[in-house]
Amino acid sequence: MASYPVPTLNCALRLFRRAAPLPACLLVLAAAAARLAAANQDWIPWNPAPDDFKSSPIDLRPLNEKFAGENGWIQARGEQFVHSGNGRPVRFWAVNGDGGGDVTHGARVLAKYGVNLVRLHGGLYDSKTGELKSSEIKERITSIEALKGQGIYSLLSIYFPVWLKPKAGPDWREGYDGSKTPFALLYFEPEFQEVYRGWWKSILATKTSSGTALANEPAVMALELVNEDSLFFWTFTYKNIPDPQMRKLEKRFGDWAVKKHGSLRSALSAWNNLAHPRDDLAAGRLGFRPLYEMFTRKTPRDQATAAFLFEIQRDFYADTVRYIRSLGYKGLITASNWTTANNDIFGPLEKLSYMPGDFIDHHGYFGANHKGDNSAWSLREGHTYSDVSALRFDAEERGKPRAFFNPAMDPMYNRRPSMISEIAWNRPSRHRSEAPLFLSIYGSLQDTDAVVHFAFDSSRWAVKPGFFMQPWTLMSPTQAGQFPAAAFLYRRGLVKTGELMADLPMTIADALGLKGSRLVQQAGLDEFRKGDVGGDGGAKTQSRGIDPLIHLVGRTNVGINEKGGTLDTKDLTPFIDRTAQTVLSSTREIKLDYGKGVLALNAPAAQGVSGDLRKAGPVSLGDVTITSPLEVGHIIAVALDGQPLATSKRLLVQAMSEDKPSDFATEPAKEGVHRITRLGQDPWLMREIAGNVRFKRPDAARLKVTALDLNGYPVKEIGNAAAFDLLPGHVYYLVRPASRPCLLSHLRRLLGQIIQPKAPFNSP
């Protein structure tokens, strides 16, 4: 059945009730309309008119450069990204994907919502042969140019093993049959590495419409070498890697052991004669023990294996960085972004292998206990899910202990800049609306240099942008709809960076010795990659001495080098109260009450509250008091001129609740689990917003409040900032001093009243 705004449905129902007896088919339609109206009570369609991009308080295009690269290449300097032309630091509020379709329109939409970087993530080659497709490169260039024109940088990600299923052939294709993914192969197979580097050579030599080779285009912020693959992840197995290819790596392991110990027999002796069924001393090959055995038992052979795998992976990244630099590319390069089979043991080695690159990256998803056929990449009727809140540290499965982990937790490694190049709160959890402000606030606190939301697959506000409904789309009310305030405070630095709460030195020898790290960066896998996890539960790691809530207090660093150093940790007692279930930031600007599920921000130029606002009650912050009955709500005030809220002349108040597709319906599956019975369709619905905002400044009554429409354009004045009620269907409000007409304007109006005849009372 088609979706209609709730008021329309209610009117239709009233007509049905007043009408004469109806045919059975109309009675069925009336009953369906009644059910839909009841399910959508208190929900409002999110269906803004086409945007003509007039001047608007929520249009953040002025934050971007006139064109990407205007101020030179992006460089890594210390812990930050900077413009090479002026040395100014820059943070990237970013998305994955250019939206497809009209990329020029998509780029303008992104710029309006505060985006200044797009990760262009996709293969440019034939999945069976690896041959480059010129048409794909041309499309990528078109996207880069469209984004550049809106001051948006590009990050190129061209290799993910899943995008290839090589058909049978010689060299790097030997052992493949067109159905197997080449996990791990790129790290050690010379012929495949030659193909791979040929991709980069061709791509970077391609010229833009201005005649500039891509290698010389500063709008290309960074190149990503490998997406989601590692010799330390569960996919490194004999099952995934064909025997002819694994024999090549086994021979290299044997050569490595001979170089270390003089002979294979001497190596085995040093390893307490721990053999492997695939050891072939005559052929010079040594087999690989399962990763689970390696991180669990940590025998001398396991330590040697880890050292070998680390060198193979690090050397690939180092050699590839040198090769790309030889092509003349001056931008940033990042090695990879992946997790390991056990991050407290293998994690330091994984990150250390990335050091040939310029910054450190990771991925993370906040799941919703989503289960069902093809749930890794789609939402379908019959699938089940749970409403999971990050603000309460809910475990995905009801009844499990709190999971004190969030994919936004972002330690530094060797004080390098950091990026989260894929992150999302997955649909259809009602708490998905937590994501934008959480990422903005805690990304600022930790000084994360780029937050890349997944995924911008359409520039339309579409429930189902493509041929299937996926769990991550950004063009929804609670995601892109909250970007204006979230992106502004993150990019303008309205939230202070936290103190360095822990600096953990670690020697390379200890990392290779599998001694592990006391600060563990846990994996936040999406449903797709959860399928690759194996072993006896080894994918989950435990805290080894440092409270994981430290990431919500301030910055952290893991230093891995030859010398090591002295552990330096700050006292967390003033900030983490497990009894009260609260975490206070080291800046005293941020407080999370995870018992109630409420996050409060109290910075000079940005103040607000997010989460269960009903439980929060009236929240009194430095310059504003916020009250709302919403169980899921997010209300924030930011100073658009960057001044304190107490003196700002231009403020944005942004409010959000939760969203769902029209006609979306569920039924209970079991306690805490919903089963989808109807997926729904356009348009998005937003739960009616309710609440009251009171500014405390002495001149609050002289500040007028203008409600804006869903595109951010003025609709009507609704009172003053001393106290105003939020309107059910409005998200954005502009707060500014009431204009005082100049004397000349006043005289003109007075003169007009004198000389103009008085209109009749009943004139139109």
pLDDT of amino acid 567: 87
Q: Inform me whether the pLDDT recorded for 750 exceeds 80.
A: no
CB 333 within 8 A of CB 355: no
Integer-rounded Cα Rg, in Å, for the chain is 28
pLDDT of amino acid 592: 98
Residues of the chain within CATH 3.20.20.80 domain(s) are 61-253+312-502
Nearest to 451 by CA among 427, 435, 463, 432: 435
Whole-angstrom Cα distance, residue 612 to residue 599?
A: 9
pLDDT band at 429 (very low <50, low <70, confident <90, very high): very high
Which residues, 6 or more positions from 195, have their beta carbon under 8 angstroms from its beta carbon?
A: 130, 172
Under the phi-then-psi rule, with left for phi > 0, alpha for psi from -120 to 50, and beta for the rest, what region is 10?
alpha
> What's the whole-number mean pLDDT along residues 528-541?
51
**CA distances in angstroms from 241 to 180, 285, 369, 541, listed in the order given:** 8, 16, 30, 26
Which percentage of the chain shows pLDDT scores above 70? 88
What are the tens digits of pLDDT across the range 144-195? 999 999 999 999 999 999 999 999 999 999 999 999 999 999 999 999 999 9
| Beta strands 555-561; 568-569: pairing state | unpaired
pLDDT of amino acid 17: 38
CB 152 within 8 A of CB 110: yes
Whole-angstrom Cα distance, residue 411 to residue 135?
A: 39
Vertex 107, ends 103 and 111: CA angle to 5°?
170
Whole-angstrom Cα distance, residue 438 to residue 431?
A: 11
pLDDT of amino acid 534: 56
pLDDT band at 26 (very low <50, low <70, confident <90, very high): low
What are the tens digits of pLDDT across the range 93-135? 999 999 989 999 999 999 999 999 999 999 999 999 999 999 9
What are the tens digits of pLDDT across the range 646-702? 999 999 999 999 999 999 999 999 999 999 999 999 999 999 999 999 999 999 999
pLDDT of amino acid 521: 67
pLDDT of amino acid 530: 56
Q: Six-digit token pair at 189?
A: 């197979």
CATH (residue range 61-253+312-502) = 3.20.20.80
Indicate the pTM of the whole model. Answer: 0.91
Across the chain, what does the average pLDDT equal?
91
Q: Inform me whether the pLDDT recorded for 424 exceeds 80.
A: yes
SS3 for 241-276 is: CCHHHHHHHHHHHHHHHHHHHCCHHHHHHHCCCCCC
Q: Inform me whether the pLDDT recorded for 535 exceeds 50.
A: no
CB 416 within 8 A of CB 79: yes
| Beta strands 555-561; 500-507: pairing state | parallel
pLDDT of amino acid 15: 34
Whole-angstrom Cα distance, residue 414 to residue 427?
A: 35
Neighbours of 374 (CB within 10 A): 12
Q: Which long-range contacts (CB under 8 A, 24 or more apart) does 529-537 make?
A: 529/228, 530/376, 531/376, 532/233, 532/234, 532/235, 533/234, 534/234, 534/237, 534/292, 534/341, 535/234, 535/290, 535/291, 535/292, 535/341, 536/292
Whole-angstrom Cα distance, residue 284 to residue 360?
A: 36
> What's the whole-number mean pLDDT along residues 558-563?
94
| Beta strands 582-584; 590-593: pairing state | antiparallel
The length of the chain, given as a count of residues: 764
Element (H, E) at 441: helix 435-446
pLDDT of amino acid 545: 73
More confident residue, 20 or 315: 315
Q: Inform me whether the pLDDT recorded for 246 exceeds 80.
A: yes
Q: Six-digit token pair at 378?
A: 């789609």
